């Protein structure tokens, strides 16, 4: 649903004729200039409003990316695998030391 009215060619001609009759041909250029300035200001405000929402969306997305990077840093799978290998190696050394201390052959 659009809040901007959709004007066809017929409506524009009717508005032009009404403006010419109500304002008069002498003041019509000044009126059109004023309307143009107002439309330009409204577009500028709308663009600024849209840009601020886009900026907020980018900042929120960047924050989500930062959080994801931190999660990935904290759960380093390479470090976890290395730690598991180190623990297995320590267990193997202990088992070999136990075998040697009891005089058993492997």
Length of the chain (residues): 106
Higher pLDDT, 1 or 8: 8
CA-to-CA distance for 90 and 100, rounded, in angstroms? 15
Is residue 20 over pLDDT 90?
no
For residue 43, name the pLDDT band (cuts at 50, 70, 90): very high
Q: What are phi and psi of 104, to 5 degrees?
A: -90, 155
CA-to-CA distance for 36 and 42, rounded, in angstroms? 10
For residue 1, name the pLDDT band (cuts at 50, 70, 90): low
% helix, strand, coil for the chain, step of 5: 80, 0, 20
What are the pLDDT digits (tens) for 53-93?
999 999 999 999 999 888 877 777 777 788 888 888 888 88
Half-sphere exposure of 26 (CA within 13 A, CB side): 0
Tokens of 49: 């409003």
């Amino acid at each position: 649903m659009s809040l901007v009215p959709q004007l066809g060619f017929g409506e524009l001609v009717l508005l032009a004729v009404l403006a010419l009759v109500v304002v008069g041909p002498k003041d019509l250029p000044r009126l059109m200039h004023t309307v143009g300035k107002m439309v330009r200001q409204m577009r500028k405000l709308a663009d600024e409003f849209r840009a601020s929402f886009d900026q907020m969306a980018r900042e929120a997305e960047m924050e989500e990316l930062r959080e994801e990077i931190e999660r990935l840093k904290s759960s380093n799978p390479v470090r976890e695998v290395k730690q598991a290998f180190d623990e297995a190696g320590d267990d193997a050394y202990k088992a070999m030391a136990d075998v040697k201390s009891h005089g058993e052959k492997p």
